[in-house]
Chain A
Amino acid sequence: MKLPSMSPAAKAVFERMPAQLSKFFLRYPPRTIQKYAEKPVPIDDPTRNPFLPAFNPATKKYREPVYSLRQQSVLYKLAEEYGVRKLLPFMTKKFGLHKQAQKKKMKRSKNPKGHKYDNTKEERAAKRAEAIRQMDEIVAKVKGKRYQRRIAAKSKLPKHLF
């Protein structure tokens, strides 16, 4: 197949690309060269976009896009990998963070709450540590005055007898 004329840099990228992507660009030249419609057009329109539906002007019946949504995703991701994303025709499909930003939120929607166990984990750990820190006092109180006196006397003994 005779390749169109390209600059050496472009040719290098073209040869590096996987067949799926390079064949696509042979069939549908980059956006910089070929103009593509951004909404459905008649099927005989030269700016027909392979990622959008097209209609028969006589019957007014619509046709599916040449590339399914799944195939569009595949092409997009390949193009992203090889740095030629902006050469693809116009897509209504969105990806990644851009997609999340464009999504219409439900009424009264909130961000994920997180699990109760995870949200309260630090607080509970702090309470536990505080309880354990106070445990000596609690023990002394429960055991009574005699125990407290014994502990006091013990603390006065020399720590190392030898």
Chain B
Amino acid sequence: MAKAKGRKQTTLITLVSSALTGMKRSMLIRRTALPVRMMRYDPTAKRHVLFTESKRRRAPPNLQFGFGRKLEKDK
């Protein structure tokens, strides 16, 4: 079976606890996703903490949503 050329639409990332306890989470996300941050439980810190991506990915498209308000560039 010939391998189809082209990239996968998803990528595996690891998120590191901002409480510096060394706790990590990994997940599969779309390549186009914005930088992932999530509040999850850290058992070493014994509380919910912020988990952020450990590596910088290729920058996703710079989407700016105004949600009714004017963007900086349009002001």
State the A residues within 8 Å of B (CB): 124, 127-128, 131-132, 135, 138-139, 142-143
- A111 CB → nearest B CB, Å: 30
List 12 extra interface pairs beyond A128-B45, A132-B19, CB under 8 A.
A127-B20, A128-B20, A131-B19, A132-B49, A135-B19, A135-B45, A135-B50, A138-B50, A139-B39, A139-B48, A142-B39, A143-B39
Could you tell me if A138 and B18 are in contact, using CB atoms closer than 8 angstroms?
Answer: yes
Q: Which A residue sits closest to B21, measured CB to CB?
A: A128
| B47 close to chain A: CB less than 8 A | yes
| B24 close to chain A: CB less than 8 A | no
On whether A135 and B20 interact (CB within 8 A), knowing A142-B37, A142-B39, A143-B39, the answer reads no
Scan B20-31; emit 1 where CB is below 8 A from any A CB, else 0.
Answer: 110000000000
Could you tell me if A139 and B20 are in contact, using CB atoms closer than 8 angstroms?
Answer: no
Interface residues of B in 15-69 (CB under 8 A from A): 18-21, 37, 39, 45, 47-50
Cα A137 to Cα B18 with chains together (Å): 12
- B10 CB → nearest A CB, Å: 24
